């Protein structure tokens, strides 16, 4: 029941938390130089990747990785896709892998839709609501209403044509925010991890073996 009440209060949480981080000078921008990659990691609506043990993994595996800080992720997906494009051009990145978790996966798809697949090696969509989240009360009244099934934004992304070998969808056994089938692109490679819960899917023990194989 708590999950169903989350979204109406989500905007207040992310605005306040992001403002506090700004005032304290805390940034989630992160870059590790390395010989492998390049890889761009995009987190979900709230929080970064630190609690998922990602930064340590990147250093230990010599990955040239970028974790951009977008602050409050309440702007249109198109805005963040443009920011990713700017990062790719500014850093002169080629044959890029993009890992998007939750909302970050939708940003990844928007980037591919807007700028094409030529410079993309592959993308990982981790617990990404491609076909929408469950119908939470009052969600349609928030700026995240495009996460509802059959929203124009999601329908547009669902029509995206993609090279099947370039898309890897990762989901857990159960997700409180969306049914597993809503995270899968027909024709993509699908990996089911032994995880129960939206954030649990992103834990190191679940994702790092996949990174070892595909990054």
Task: Give the tens place of pLDDT for each residue, 116-165.
Answer: 999 999 999 999 999 999 877 778 888 888 999 999 999 999 999 988 78
Across 12-16, 125-129, 145-149, 182-186, least confident range: 12-16
Closest CA to 79 of 54, 50, 106, 99: 106
Q: How confident is the model at residue 22 (pLDDT cuts 50, 70, 90)?
A: very low
Strand arrangement, sheet containing 120-126:
30-32, 63-67, 36-42, 96-101, 120-126, 167-171, 189-192
pLDDT at 7 over 70: no
Closest CA to 132 of 123, 145, 141, 113: 145
Q: Catalogue the long-range contacts made by 196-199 (C-beta closer than 8 Å, 24 or more residues apart).
A: 196/172, 197/172, 198/102, 198/127, 198/172
User: In degrees rounded to 5, what are phi and psi of residue 190?
Assistant: -120, 135
What pLDDT is stored for residue 23 in this prediction? Answer: 41
All structural domains of the chain, each given as residue ranges with its CATH number in brackets, are 3-214 (3.40.50.1820)
pLDDT at 1 over 70: no
Q: How confident is the model at residue 4 (pLDDT cuts 50, 70, 90)?
A: very low
What pLDDT is stored for residue 16 in this prediction? Answer: 52
pLDDT at 40 over 90: yes
> Which residues make Cβ contacts (< 8 Å) with residue 207, sequence separation at least 6?
52, 126, 170, 193, 201
What pLDDT is stored for residue 29 in this prediction? Answer: 74
Closest CA to 209 of 198, 188, 185, 193: 193
This prediction's pTM: 0.86
Per the model's pLDDT, the better-predicted residue between 170 and 57 turns out to be 170
What pLDDT is stored for residue 117 in this prediction? Answer: 95
Q: How confident is the model at residue 86 (pLDDT cuts 50, 70, 90)?
A: very high
pLDDT at 208 over 60: yes
Q: How confident is the model at residue 63 (pLDDT cuts 50, 70, 90)?
A: very high
- Roughly what angle, to the nearest 10 degrees, separates helices 103-115 and 77-90? 70
Q: What is the mean pLDDT of residues 59-84?
A: 87
Closest CA to 81 of 153, 10, 23: 153
Q: Provide the mean pLDDT of the chain.
A: 84
What pLDDT is stored for residue 215 in this prediction? Answer: 81
Six token digits for residue 211:
């990174």
Tell me if 41 sits within 8 A of 67, measured CB to CB.
yes
pLDDT at 11 over 70: no
Q: What share of the chain is helix, strand, coil (3-state, %, to 5)?
A: 45, 20, 40
């Amino acid at each position: 029941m708590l999950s169903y009440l989350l979204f109406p209060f989500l905007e207040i949480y992310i605005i306040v938390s992001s403002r506090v981080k700004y005032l304290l000078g805390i940034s989630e921008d992160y870059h590790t130089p390395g010989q492998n990659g390049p890889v761009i990691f995009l987190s979900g609506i709230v929080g970064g990747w630190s609690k998922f043990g990602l930064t340590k993994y990147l250093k230990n595996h010599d990955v040239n990785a970028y974790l951009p800080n977008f602050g409050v992720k309440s702007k249109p997906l198109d805005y963040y896709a443009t920011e990713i494009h700017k990062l790719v051009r500014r850093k002169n990145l080629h044959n890029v892998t993009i890992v998007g978790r939750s909302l970050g996966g939708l940003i990844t798809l928007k980037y591919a839709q807007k700028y094409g697949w030529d410079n993309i090696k592959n993308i990982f969509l981790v617990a990404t609501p491609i076909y929408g989240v469950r119908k939470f009360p009052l969600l349609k009244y928030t700026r995240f209403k495009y996460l509802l099934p059959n929203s124009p934004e999601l329908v547009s992304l669902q029509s995206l044509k993609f090279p099947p070998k370039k898309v890897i969808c990762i989901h857990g056994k159960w997700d409180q925010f969306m049914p597993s089938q809503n995270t899968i692109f027909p024709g993509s490679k699908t990996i089911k991890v032994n995880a129960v819960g939206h954030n649990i899917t992103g834990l190191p023990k679940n994702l790092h073996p996949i990174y070892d194989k595909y990054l």
